[in-house]
Amino acid sequence: MKTVPRWLSLAAVSLALFAALPAFAQTSFEGLDSSTQSKGKKKKKQRKTSASSKKRAKRGRAQPDNATVAASNKETAAPASAPASDVKQAVSAPAVEAPKAEAPKKPEPIPKPAATLTFDAVDLTGKSAERQRLDVAVQQFKQQQYELAALTAYELMRDPKLLALQLDAHYVLAKSLYRMGMYHSSLGEFSKILAKGPQTKFFKNGLEWLFFISHKTTNEAVILEEIAKYSNFEFPAQFRGEFRYLLARYHFVRGKALDAIDQRGEANKSFDQVKALILTVPKSDPFYARAKYLEGLAYFREDNAQTALESMKEVVRITRPNSSKSDVEAKLDKELRQLAFMQLARTHYGHRQNRNAIYYYGKVERGGTQWLESLFESAWANYRVAQYEQSLGNLITLAAPFFRDEYFPEALILKAVIYYENCRYREARSTLEDFERIYLPVHDQLETMTKRERDSSEYYQILSDIQKKIRTSAAKGNTDAILDKILRLALSDKDFKKTNDSILELESEVDSIGKRGDTFRYSDLAKTLLEGLKTERQALVKRGGIMAKGKLETELAELKRLLTNGLRIKFETTTKEKEFLEDQLRAGGRQEIVKKYRYSVAVSDEQLYWPYEGEYWRDELGTYQYTLTKGCAERQVASGSGG
Amino acid sequence: MRLGQVAFALALFASPVFAQSSEQEAGDVSEVDKDRLGPLRERIPPVSGQAFLKKGRFEFSPSATLSMRDAFFTKYIIGGALTYHPLETLGVSLRLGYSFPVVSGNAQICTVDPVTLARTCRSPTFSQVDGRAPGQINLLGGLDLQWAPIYGKISLFAEKFLRFDLYGIGGAAAVRYAGPSPDGGSTPKTAIGGNVGLGTRFFFNPWMTLRLEVRDLIYNEQVLPIGTSSLRQQLLFELGFSFFFPTRFSES
């Protein structure tokens, strides 16, 4: 056996130590945002960390050390309130960055003594006074004094002497705002940090924080534009699926907007992007189902029904209830599953495959967000296959007092048409009268709202006023039915609803500043934040206004069409009644316009028969079948299918 | 039978919880469970557009009451109750009844022939038990609180359908009865007691119902020997019609 020379073993030990150090540093600096600017400093700090990591808890705030910086960064990378997945992501993320922390080889310049006496006296860390001031902010953040941390960081940012640490301070500010629940303000600050470019040290972490924020805000779309700005950069692996999905959503929304202004070519490009991006989302990714849903919609737009159906079926397969999913995941899956069923039904309905459509409408969860829509659309599908009784049954549910304020004007038209088809002219006319009584005022109100040329944000303002008015009058137990209907109508546009939610969220963030302590409330930071929020609100209001305007105008046109159709049916009904009366006169009064149908209330073994007598029982909703006891004289039964 | 409120449903459906969870896992939930678990439950009351509402209405209810399980006197009570319903589930009622006590079939006077030792029994005459036997109620009054948490409907052979409510009552009662007199015979006495009971109404139309009630009247009655008293529990079965005023109602 050969003996190893002493010098060689020493060298080996040194090498091993050298190799081990970065690994240690990596652990200590978990979560620390690696910097390209201060790499030289970091090397030294990492070594210190090993010695001081246990002591740091005992030290006062006046003596922050580097270990504190590291610890706080570790903590912030995994926000306490962020979802569990975020925590995982954050903890593992720094592993990628850690090598940067140990990259510098140059000896670190000896730090200058602190400028103040106080710091001179206690500075055992060898840090600059500037760094110590930053450490104060970090320490405050670590001690969950987020307001103070934000104020300190903001002060540092504005200090021209601290240019080198401005970004660090900015990062602390953005994180503090997040922890204070001021997600929009935090997003604003992170946007500014990201805007400094990918070469800056907080770029990658900033991107991660975008996702954290999107998980907290009511509308994840608020970060879409930010995401789109950095679409060419590599996102952290944990967020890649989410990133691609969000980017696809961004293109989807863009494509829809382009479609709305008839720019088909550009819209096609956007939708192609959607499809391409979705192909890159792996099947195992939690965002796969949502991505597939978008893909289905993109194919549906192209009228590629077969592929659209396949995508939607895939969504249904993936979102099958599964006990291994968390509550949040299960809830999201459930909602998506309902949407997929609706889309499957609509695609079939669009291709006149009515029974398939009815099958999928029937799959929509009872009482869920899509349920009433599904009942209404299913009523049309049933009408098409002459299942009038089922169709009218669905409309009974829609007429229940619980859903009185839901906006389904066409339901009454459908009801009138079915009565008309079954020679029940009196009922048809009475239904049309109901329709006019309810919806003519809505039409008039909509026309008043839309006929004047207004700035788009004014539209939002009108709806916002209605919203406030309804809220106040609801508290008094007295709501304006027409205004309520108009608001619900506008909110039935999902994009508008989300934008509205964002605006409300933003307003509550503005209000939250007023509720904070005087130090924060009257600070320059608060003023700046308020200004930022105001600007963001204006942008959102403008966007919401455009959506509201579009929605209200579309609905006005639709209501006009329905009113015209109503008049047509009325005219047809009157003509039929006249013809019948003439026939009756000719027959000497012996001719019957309607006759009693044969009907049975028998139900299958799995069902129970309860007559509907004007009372709505919750567990009966959605199960009604109307019994047409009389109808056209030439028919024997109500429905073509025999009921 | 379906019930509009939670209590019964919870009791009835308490057992299949385990089965439901596995069904849910399979994504297969029965229609009944859908109502119990589904999102409609969170935002919609069990019934709306009710065929009958009581809130803000007066209920006048003439009734006939029969006492049950009487040892000495069977009471036939003619009376009525006036109830006001400030809430759908809550009512305050004032009741009054005039009673006709007759000797109960259970009451027997038995004698033993000293010679033959044969035992013969016969029903006593009214005067024989007057003031001597307890439970000789003449007049009844009471102030009750009514709680009607259950509204439901029932199917009779899948042909006829009836709506009903179930209520519980409790309150104070004043009882005028014939107590023992030191001179023999009876003397009128008054006692304060309480009422607890259960009742149901079957709704015929928006203003008329059939009312059935079982009540336990509890009061302290003076009995022989003079100066002693005993706690009596008198079960009463009441049958009556109720008329609601105003005759129309609107769902708020």
Determine the pLDDT at residue A135.
87
pLDDT band at B142; cut points 50, 70, 90: very high
DSSP secondary structure string for all residues of A329-377: HHHHHHHHHHHHHHHHHHHHHHTT-HHHHHHHHTTSPTTSTTHHHHHHH
Contact assignment for A320 to B27 by CB distance below 8 Å: yes
Sign, CA dihedral A137-A139-A141-A147, equals negative
Statement: residue A56 has pLDDT above 50: no
- Residue A162 DSSP label: G
CB contacts, 8 Å: A400 with chain B: 48-49
Q: Identify whether A253 is part of a domain.
A: no
Contact assignment for A402 to B48 by CB distance below 8 Å: yes
Residues B235 and B143 in one domain: yes
Among candidate residues A68, A87, A67, the one with its CA nearest the CA of residue A79: A87
Candidate from A75-79, A169-173, A632-636 with smallest mean pLDDT? A75-79
Average of per-residue pLDDT across A438-462: 83
pLDDT band at A51; cut points 50, 70, 90: very low
- pTM attached to this predicted model: 0.70
Nearest CB neighbour to B49, from listed A323, A365, A401: A401
- Residue A637 DSSP label: S
Residues B79 and B190 in one domain: yes
pLDDT tens digits, one per residue of B193-248? 999 999 999 999 999 999 999 999 999 999 888 888 899 999 999 999 999 999 88
Residues B203 and B98 in one domain: yes
Candidate from A107-121, A234-248, A531-545, B159-173 with smallest mean pLDDT? A107-121
- Distance (Å) from the alpha carbon of B85 to chain A's nearest alpha carbon: 21
Q: A65 and A48 in contact (C-beta within 8 Å)?
A: yes
Domain count, chain B: 2
CA distance A464 to A293: 31
Among candidate residues A117, A159, A131, A110, the one with its CA nearest the CA of residue A68: A131
pLDDT band at B36; cut points 50, 70, 90: low
Q: Is A316 on the interface with B (CB under 8 A)?
A: no
pLDDT band at B17; cut points 50, 70, 90: very low
**What 3-state DSSP class applies to A445?**
helix
Statement: residue A516 has pLDDT above 60: yes
Q: Identify whether B97 is part of a domain.
A: yes
Contact assignment for A366 to B44 by CB distance below 8 Å: no
Q: Is B35 on the interface with A (CB under 8 A)?
A: yes
CB contacts, 8 Å: B32 with chain A: 619
Determine the pLDDT at residue A373.
93
Determine the pLDDT at residue A383.
96
Q: Which domain range does residue B194 map to?
A: 57-245
* CB neighbour list of residue A485: distance below 8 Å, 6 or more residues apart: A405, A407, A442
Q: Is B39 on the interface with A (CB under 8 A)?
A: yes
Q: A286 and A333 in contact (C-beta within 8 Å)?
A: no
Statement: residue A115 has pLDDT above 50: no
Determine the pLDDT at residue B108.
87
Q: Identify whether A407 is part of a domain.
A: no
Determine the pLDDT at residue A91.
30
Q: Which of the two residues, A638 and A389, has the higher pLDDT score?
A: A389
Last residue of a domain, one of A564, A591, A618: A591
B137-156 and B90-103 strand pairing? antiparallel
> Tokens representing B165?
């409510």
- Distance (Å) from the alpha carbon of A357 to chain B's nearest alpha carbon: 20
pLDDT band at B252; cut points 50, 70, 90: low
Statement: residue A429 has pLDDT above 80: yes
Nearest CB neighbour to B47, from listed A322, A616, A623: A616
Q: B74 and B101 in contact (C-beta within 8 Å)?
A: yes
Average of per-residue pLDDT across A31-48: 37
Q: Which of the two residues, B193 and A85, has the higher pLDDT score?
A: B193
Q: Which of the two residues, A554 and B201, has the higher pLDDT score?
A: B201
Q: Identify whether B48 is part of a domain.
A: no
Contact assignment for B47 to A618 by CB distance below 8 Å: yes
Average of per-residue pLDDT across A161-179: 88
Q: Is A619 on the interface with B (CB under 8 A)?
A: yes
pLDDT band at A477; cut points 50, 70, 90: low
- Distance (Å) from the alpha carbon of A363 to chain B's nearest alpha carbon: 11
Q: What average pLDDT does the structure give for chain A?
A: 77
Q: Identify whether A496 is part of a domain.
A: yes
> Tokens representing A265?
């070519």
Q: Identify whether B252 is part of a domain.
A: no
Determine the pLDDT at residue A98.
33
Among candidate residues A210, A150, A181, the one with its CA nearest the CA of residue A526: A150
Q: Is A365 on the interface with B (CB under 8 A)?
A: yes
Q: Identify whether A301 is part of a domain.
A: no
Q: Give bridge partners of residue B205 from the DSSP assignment.
A: B208
Statement: residue A415 has pLDDT above 90: yes
Statement: residue A49 has pLDDT above 80: no
Q: Which of A619, A620, A621, A623 has the most B C-beta neighbours within 10 Å, making it the best mutation to test the interface with B?
A: A619
Q: Which of the two residues, B65 and A323, has the higher pLDDT score?
A: B65
B160-180 and B137-156 strand pairing? antiparallel
Q: Which domain range does residue A129 map to?
A: 24-214
Q: Identify whether B251 is part of a domain.
A: no
Statement: residue A73 has pLDDT above 60: no
Statement: residue A37 has pLDDT above 60: no
Residues B76 and B38 in one domain: no
Residues B71 and B16 in one domain: no
Residues B30 and B78 in one domain: no
Q: Give bridge partners of residue B65 from the DSSP assignment.
A: B77, B238
Helices and strands: H and E segment counts in chain B: 5, 12
- Residue A160 DSSP label: G
Determine the pLDDT at residue B33.
59
Phi/psi at A107 (5° precision)? -65, 140
CA distance A118 to B173: 85
Statement: residue A351 has pLDDT above 90: yes
Longest alpha-carbon distance in chain B = 85
Contact assignment for B2 to A623 by CB distance below 8 Å: no
Percent of chain B, pLDDT > 70?
84
**What 3-state DSSP class applies to A321?**
coil
Burial A314-330 (b: 16+ CB within 10 A, else e): bbbebbeeeeebeeeee
Q: Is B12 on the interface with A (CB under 8 A)?
A: no
* CB neighbour list of residue A69: distance below 8 Å, 6 or more residues apart: A32, A45, A134, A135, A138
Residues B185 and B235 in one domain: yes
Residues B110 and B218 in one domain: yes
CA distance A570 to B34: 40
Closest residue on chain A to B41 (Cα): A618
Within the 148-167 window of chain B, which residues sit less than 8 Å (CB to CB) from chain A?
153, 155, 158, 161, 163
Q: Is B50 on the interface with A (CB under 8 A)?
A: yes
3-state helix, strand, coil in chain A (%, to 5): 70, 0, 30
CB contacts, 8 Å: A365 with chain B: 38-39
> Tokens representing B122?
């016969």
Contact assignment for A366 to B24 by CB distance below 8 Å: no
CA distance A548 to A544: 6
Closest residue on chain B to A366 (Cα): B38
- What is the domain-level CATH number for residue A111? 1.25.40.10
pLDDT band at A590; cut points 50, 70, 90: confident
Cα-Cα-Cα-Cα dihedral of A154, A157, A162, A167, to 10°? 120
Average of per-residue pLDDT across A347-365: 94
CA distance to A53, A383, B17, B62, per residue, from A68 (Å): 8, 70, 51, 83
Determine the pLDDT at residue B131.
86
Among candidate residues A246, A212, A154, A272, the one with its CA nearest the CA of residue A526: A154
Q: Is A614 on the interface with B (CB under 8 A)?
A: yes
CA distance A510 to A184: 10
Candidate from A219-233, A299-313, A458-472, A626-640 with smallest mean pLDDT? A626-640
Statement: residue A446 has pLDDT above 50: yes
Phi/psi at B165 (5° precision)? -130, 160
pLDDT band at B107; cut points 50, 70, 90: confident
Q: Which of the two residues, A365 and A40, has the higher pLDDT score?
A: A365
- Residue A536 DSSP label: H
Residues B29 and B63 in one domain: no
Q: Is A320 on the interface with B (CB under 8 A)?
A: yes
Average of per-residue pLDDT across A594-623: 84
Nearest CB neighbour to A367, from listed B40, B50, B163: B40
> Tokens representing A176?
């503090």
Q: Identify whether B49 is part of a domain.
A: no
Statement: residue B30 has pLDDT above 70: no
H helix or E strand, kind and range, residue A102? none
- What is the domain-level CATH number for residue B225? 2.40.160.20
Closest residue on chain B to A613 (Cα): B51
Q: Is B29 on the interface with A (CB under 8 A)?
A: no
Most confident of A40-49, A201-210, A389-398: A389-398
- Predicted-complex ipTM score: 0.74
Domain count, chain A: 2
Q: Identify whether B184 is part of a domain.
A: yes
Determine the pLDDT at residue A308.
94
Q: Is A367 on the interface with B (CB under 8 A)?
A: yes
Q: Is B6 on the interface with A (CB under 8 A)?
A: no
> Tokens representing A25?
């540093």
Determine the pLDDT at residue B150.
94
Q: Which of A324, A478, A601, A617 has the most B C-beta neighbours within 10 Å, making it the best mutation to test the interface with B?
A: A617
- Distance (Å) from the alpha carbon of A252 to chain B's nearest alpha carbon: 30
Statement: residue A561 has pLDDT above 90: yes
CA distance A203 to A389: 62
Phi/psi at A372 (5° precision)? -65, -40
CA distance A526 to A520: 6
At how many degrees (to 10) do helices A481-491 and A494-514 cross?
100
Average of per-residue pLDDT across A319-337: 87
Candidate from A376-385, A512-521, A560-569 with smallest mean pLDDT? A512-521
Candidate from A3-7, A381-385, A637-641, B19-23 with smallest mean pLDDT? B19-23
Contact assignment for B25 to A321 by CB distance below 8 Å: yes
Determine the pLDDT at residue A234.
77
CA distance B78 to A533: 75
Q: Identify whether B50 is part of a domain.
A: no
Residues B86 and B188 in one domain: yes
Determine the pLDDT at residue B31.
55
Q: Identify whether B208 is part of a domain.
A: yes
Residues B71 and B35 in one domain: no
Residue the block writes with tokens 């400093």: A41
Last residue of a domain, one of A214, A247, A276: A214
Average of per-residue pLDDT across A438-448: 87
- Residue A107 DSSP label: P
Statement: residue A79 has pLDDT above 80: no
> Tokens representing A124?
């055992």
Half-sphere exposure of A213 toward its Cβ, with a 13 Å CA cutoff? 30
Last residue of a domain, one of A591, A613, A634: A591
Residues B81 and B203 in one domain: yes
Nearest CB neighbour to B158, from listed A367, A609, A617: A609
* CB neighbour list of residue A554: distance below 8 Å, 6 or more residues apart: none
